[in-house]
Structure 1
Amino acid sequence: MLGLIETKKEAVTTYDVVQLWGAGAVKWEYVGSIGASGGLLLVWDETVFKMNNCYKGSRWLCVEGVLLRNNFSCAFCLVYGPHDRRGKLDTWEELSFLYGLCQAPFCYLGDFNEITQLEDRKGINSLPVSAVEFKDWIQDMELVDLELTDRLFTWFRGESCSRIDRALVSLEWLEVFPETRLRGGPRGLSDHCPLIMEASQVRGGPRPFRSLDSWFTHDGYLRMVKEEWRALGDRQFMDKLKALTSPLSRWHKKNFGDMDKRITQFEDELKKVDDLTGAGVADGTVEARRKALVSCCKKWYIRQELH
């Protein structure tokens, strides 16, 4: 299940979803944005989850159905919380009604635009009234606010840091998935860190090699091919293609073989910069380093996506 918040799209098309998910047994539901403001999208593999009902609000999107592997009836609700207190109270009331309507183990996830404790926001000494009310709502609903295991904050802007993105699950959910864990993904180019919720660790086989379009993003690729092709002389065309396999393999290993490792290193460095910002020790040098790291990340993200 993939949830996206602030899509800024009034309508979501099949083309949009395939660009995100790829081809396959995919289903989705969305709440359109108002102009360039807001927008929610839930995407899932229909061989894993079968939707029975869908409910939509201006600030939330809920799909209720069955996880086919274990015939588990449940509901997922993607939330984009308002900024003002009145809007938050109205949204929580709607989410409470939704919980009663579905009568199933629930998972709320998204950007709630609210904290629950002092440690969730850098530099504050007291909780705002809306935060106390949000914490009370979670307790009244008997929801579990999953602990974020690898970072303090999920949202950054300048030197401001908060944990406003979270996943809330019902006790019935944890009875079936007691090992549910929540961690943050790399922030990359966004103000927010993506949240990754894992109910269990599933290990599959090796990833298939799908495309080499990424090679064309490297400045030296075409030059290398021309040089190797000329060096093969007057052989038959198919023989030259076969002979080209070895130098291509060596070149790929040298320039793309550690792609994931390089990206991970850049993301780790970005996290260190975020941690410095969160600790209040950021300065112009730190921000300049972040901009340089973002530029490198962007280049390698493009290569990875094409690959």
Structure 2
Amino acid sequence: MLGLIETKRHEISKFDVARIWGCSNVGWEFVESVEASGGLLLVWDDDMFRSNNCYKRERWLCVEGVLTKNNFHCAFCLVYGAHGREEKRVVWEELSYIVCLCQVPVCLLGDFNEILHVEERKGASSLTGTAEDFKDWVQDMQLMDLSLNDRKFTWFKGRSCSRIDRVLVTVEWMKEFSKIRLKGGPRGLSDHCPLIMEGNRLGGGLRPFRTLDSWNLGDAQFTSKLKALTGPLRNWHKENFGNMDKRLKMLEEEIQKLDTMVSEGAYDGTTEARRKVLVSFSEKWYVRKEVHWKQMSRS
């Protein structure tokens, strides 16, 4: 299951979703954006999840169905928190209603735009009234907040840092997936870190070797020329594109180091300027990687 927030799209086609997911065997539901803001998208593998019902409003999207692997009836609810106190209360009341309506274990995930504990906002000394409301709502709904152990904050903007992105699950959900864990991914170009929820890892087997019939050209002269080019092309590809993942990882690690510095109180113009440069480099390498894999998929 993949949830995307702030898509800023009025319409989403199956082509768009298949391009994101990587294949056409995919199901999805979405909430359109309002002018140039908002927009929600939930995407899933049709072989893994069978959707039965969908409920949606401007700030949330809920899909109820069955996880086919273990025949687990459940619901996923993607949330994009409001800003004002009254607007937040309205969203929480709507979520309370939808959780009761589904009557199955529920996983609520997304940007709730609120903290639960003082230490989840840099420089905070107490919870605001809205945060207290949110904490009371989570307790009243008997939701469990999955712990995030690999980072302190999920949202960064200048000197500000908060953990406003989270995953809340019902007790029944936790009983079914007792070994579930939550980790943060590299935020790259976004102000938010993506959250990755996973269970037991599946061991990978040996990678199969594949050839293309078109390689067997049959022309000895042309084949010999290709052989002569093999070494230089391999070296050129390795130097320029062979380590795209490594370069992106290095850039993301540098960005995360800057985020950590900001979290610990170290911030100045140099820090922000360096981050902008790193983000610019990351963007270029993301584009290169997308172009590379688009061509590989066609091959």
Tell me which of 228, 237, 246 is aligned to 1:252. Answer: 237
* TM-score normalised by L of structure 2: 0.89
> Does the residue aligned with 2:267 lie in a helix, a strand or coil?
coil
CA deviations on 1:214-241 (whole Å, 9 max, x unpaired) are xxxxxxxxxxxxxxxxxxxx97334433
Structure 1 residue 170 displacement after superposition = 1.0
* Equivalent in the alignment of 1:217: none
Unaligned segments of structure 1, at least 5 residues: 211-233
> Does the residue aligned with 1:236 lie in a helix, a strand or coil?
helix
- Structure-2 change in CA distance of 1:208 and 1:98 (3 Å): farther
Q: Tell me whether 1:67 sits opposite 2:67 in the alignment.
A: yes
Structure 1 residue 207 displacement after superposition = 6.9
- Structure-2 change in CA distance of 1:272 and 1:242 (3 Å): same
The share of aligned pairs that are identical, in percent, is 62
Unaligned segments of structure 2, at least 5 residues: 211-218, 293-299
- One-letter code of the match for 2:8? K
* Equivalent in the alignment of 2:55: 55
Q: Between Structure 1 and Structure 2, how many residues are aligned?
A: 284
CA deviations on 1:251-279 (whole Å, 9 max, x unpaired) are 33333333222211111110010111111
Q: Tell me whether 1:188 sits opposite 2:173 in the alignment.
A: no
* Equivalent in the alignment of 2:8: 8
Tell me which of 257, 260, 263 is aligned to 2:248. Answer: 263
Q: C-alpha separation between the residues in 1 aligned to 2:75 and 2:262?
A: 36
Structure 1 residue 295 displacement after superposition = 1.7
CA deviations on 1:38-83 (whole Å, 9 max, x unpaired) are 1100011101111111111111001111111111111100000100
* Equivalent in the alignment of 1:83: 83
**Which deviates further from its counterpart, 187-196 or 295-304?**
295-304
> Does the residue aligned with 1:286 lie in a helix, a strand or coil?
helix
- Structure-2 change in CA distance of 1:45 and 1:242 (3 Å): farther
Q: Tell me whether 1:112 sits opposite 2:112 in the alignment.
A: yes
Structure 1 residue 130 displacement after superposition = 1.0
Structure 1 residue 205 displacement after superposition = 4.1
* Equivalent in the alignment of 2:222: 237
Structure 1 residue 202 displacement after superposition = 2.3
Tell me which of 265, 280, 292 is aligned to 1:295. Answer: 280
- One-letter code of the match for 1:284? G
Q: C-alpha separation between the residues in 2 aligned to 1:120 and 1:10?
A: 33
RMSD over aligned CA atoms reads 2.0
* TM-score normalised by L of structure 1: 0.87
Q: Tell me whether 1:40 sits opposite 2:40 in the alignment.
A: yes
> Does the residue aligned with 1:250 lie in a helix, a strand or coil?
helix
